[in-house]
């Protein structure tokens, strides 16, 4: 029997989000459970918070091939122009490993490319459960190698490449940073992990306080996403370490990280732990804890003061990594 979830006290919610917290709590409670049968509807649903595209930043869709897997992956290049020497970001979208697509984030990424004068490549990696963790990780790595190999044609400085993702995309970005370190083919200067999905044990074998993960992305959703991704029950000792960033033993020589997460987010503890373990291994990890906000808060309310502050902190971390010295101070 499912236990009735307690209400999150308004005192724990950031003041800018208190007026909508009841609606979000109702939406989370009334949403149909995430199952294989409901995936099609979820994947076809229009996102209400998608930003419109702008004409001034070019976007081009391409297919790249991964000969090792005999597979073609769709990517989008944003703000690419030969003859430039811009930093670049490889981006991976969210969606719990089971949903989402690269085109969902194009408007947001156009703005990010403008703010950093950068090139961005975003990947339509294969989704679970149709594809498992090895497939989607290799899709992202193929896109990273393509970006690095085509840096000159894209107007990219190959010495200034970062990876980035939100939610499951943040988990993918962490996995990609690990793979890039281990394979030694593409140097990375930064990893930007926005409320990243890092640990299969959260909400399965590791229970969390009632107020953590009560809004938007829940423990039930998390268990489903990880099981689909792994192809097995999450949280056990049999889970392959190379599929789960938080199960990594050696954090040395990873690229510096920016990790941002809200205190009501299901992923708050694993984000804190990941940053601590990086710093203990001698890898700089900047951790931003946003008080009283939930998963995806900045997408739901991008104009909120706290969302804008969070965005500026992320921008400054990128600028430090890319060696951009103008406008270094936060407002």
Question: For residue 33, what pLDDT is reported?
Answer: 86
- Reply yes or no on whether the pLDDT at 90 is more than 90: yes
Question: For residue 8, what pLDDT is reported?
Answer: 85
More confident residue, 330 or 307: 307
* Contacts for 74 with CB less than 8 Å, ≥ 6 apart: 61, 62, 63, 102, 123, 124
Question: For residue 328, what pLDDT is reported?
Answer: 42
Rg (CA), the chain: 19
What is the H or E stretch that residue 215 is in?
none
Question: For residue 329, what pLDDT is reported?
Answer: 37
- Reply yes or no on whether the pLDDT at 1 is more than 60: no
- Say how many Å lie between the first and final Cα of the chain, rounded: 49
Taking each helix axis from N to C end, the angle separating 219-230 and 133-149, rounded to the nearest 10 degrees, works out to 80
Question: For residue 139, what pLDDT is reported?
Answer: 97
Question: For residue 101, what pLDDT is reported?
Answer: 95
State which fold the 11-29+69-322 domain adopts: Rossmann fold (3.40.50)
Q: Is residue 5 very low, low, confident or very high in pLDDT (cuts 50, 70, 90)?
A: low
> Active-site residue among 199, 265, 269, 298?
265
Q: Which long-range contacts (CB under 8 A, 24 or more apart) does 17-22 make?
A: 17/292, 17/293, 17/294, 17/297, 17/301, 17/304, 20/300, 20/301, 21/215
- Reply yes or no on whether the pLDDT at 48 is more than 90: no
- Reply yes or no on whether the pLDDT at 279 is more than 60: yes
CA 26 to centroid of chain Cα atoms = 25
* Catalytic site includes residue 295: yes
- Reply yes or no on whether the pLDDT at 294 is more than 70: yes
Query: Helix H segments across 93-200?
Result: 106-116, 133-149, 151-154, 168-183
> Active-site residue among 14, 211, 295, 307?
295
E strand map for the chain = 59-66, 71-78, 86-92, 119-124, 156-166, 190-194, 257-262, 285-290
Instruction: State mean pLDDT over 185-211.
Output: 94
Half-sphere exposure of 271 (CA within 13 A, CB side): 29
For the chain, what are the domain ranges? Answer: 11-29+69-322
- Reply yes or no on whether the pLDDT at 326 is more than 80: no
More confident residue, 17 or 329: 17
Rounded to 5°, the CA angle 24-26-28 comes to 70
Q: What span, in angstroms and rounded, lies between the C-alpha atoms of 263 and 214? A: 11
The model's pTM is 0.94
Question: For residue 7, what pLDDT is reported?
Answer: 77
Question: For residue 228, what pLDDT is reported?
Answer: 97
Q: What is the pLDDT of residues 104-125, one digit of tens each?
A: 999 999 999 999 999 999 999 9
- Reply yes or no on whether the pLDDT at 291 is more than 70: yes
Q: What is the pLDDT of residues 227-254, one digit of tens each?
A: 999 999 999 999 999 999 999 999 999 9
Tokens of 75: 């990517």
Tell me which of 27-36, 211-220, 276-285 is least confident. Answer: 27-36
Q: What span, in angstroms and rounded, lies between the C-alpha atoms of 85 and 305? A: 33
Question: For residue 331, what pLDDT is reported?
Answer: 40
> Active-site residue among 118, 167, 204, 307?
167
Structure-token match 């991976």, residue found: 92
CA distances to 45, 175, 190, 315 from 124, rounded to whole Å, are 17, 16, 21, 24
- Reply yes or no on whether the pLDDT at 185 is more than 50: yes
- Reply yes or no on whether the pLDDT at 151 is more than 70: yes
Instruction: State mean pLDDT over 290-300.
Output: 96
CA distances to 79, 80, 122 from 113, rounded to whole Å, are 7, 10, 12
- Give the whole-number percent of the chain exceeding pLDDT 70: 95
Q: What is the pLDDT of residues 158-183, one digit of tens each?
A: 999 999 999 999 999 999 999 999 99
Count CB neighbours of 187 within 10 A: 13
Question: For residue 6, what pLDDT is reported?
Answer: 67
Backbone angles phi, psi at 89, to 5 degrees: -130, 130
Instruction: State mean pLDDT over 252-268.
Output: 98
* Catalytic site includes residue 211: no
The answer to whether 147 touches 121, Cβ cutoff 8 Å, is yes
> Kind of pairing, strands 59-66 and 71-78?
antiparallel
Q: Is residue 271 very low, low, confident or very high in pLDDT (cuts 50, 70, 90)?
A: very high
Question: For residue 11, what pLDDT is reported?
Answer: 87
* Catalytic site includes residue 167: yes
Question: For residue 330, what pLDDT is reported?
Answer: 40
């Amino acid at each position: 029997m499912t236990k009735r979830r307690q209400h999150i006290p308004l005192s724990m919610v950031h003041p800018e989000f208190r007026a909508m917290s009841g609606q979000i709590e109702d939406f989370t409670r009334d949403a149909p459970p995430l199952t294989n049968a409901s995936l099609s509807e979820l994947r076809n649903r229009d996102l209400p918070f998608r930003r419109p595209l702008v004409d001034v930043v070019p976007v081009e869709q391409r297919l790249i091939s991964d000969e090792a897997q005999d597979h073609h992956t769709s990517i989008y290049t944003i703000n690419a122009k030969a003859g430039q020497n811009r930093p670049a970001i490889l981006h991976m979208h969210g969606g719990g490993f089971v949903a989402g697509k690269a085109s969902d984030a194009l408007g947001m990424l156009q703005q990010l490319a403008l703010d950093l004068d950068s090139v961005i490549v975003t990947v339509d990696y294969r989704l679970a459960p149709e594809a498992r963790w090895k497939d989607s990780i290799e899709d992202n790595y193929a896109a990273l190698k393509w970006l690095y190999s085509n840096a000159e044609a894209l107007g990219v400085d190959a010495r200034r490449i970062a990876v980035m993702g939100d939610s499951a995309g943040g988990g993918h970005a962490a996995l990609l940073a690990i793979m890039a370190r281990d394979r030694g083919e593409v140097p990375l200067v930064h990893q930007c992990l926005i409320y990243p999905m890092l640990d299969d044990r959260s909400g399965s074998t590791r229970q969390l306080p009632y107020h953590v993960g009560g809004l938007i992305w829940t423990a039930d959703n998390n268990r489903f996403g990880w099981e689909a991704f792994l192809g097995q029950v999450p949280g056990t000792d049999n889970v392959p370490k190379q599929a789960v960033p938080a199960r990594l033993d050696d954090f040395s020589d990873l690229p510096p990280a920016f990790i941002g997460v809200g205190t009501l987010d299901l992923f708050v503890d694993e984000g804190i732990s990941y940053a601590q373990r990086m710093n203990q291994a001698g890898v700089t990890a900047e951790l931003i804890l946003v008080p009283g906000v939930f998963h995806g808060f900045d997408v739901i309310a991008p104009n909120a003061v706290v969302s804008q502050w969070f965005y500026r902190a992320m921008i400054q971390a990128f600028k430090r990594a890319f060696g951009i010295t103008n406008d270094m101070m936060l407002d």
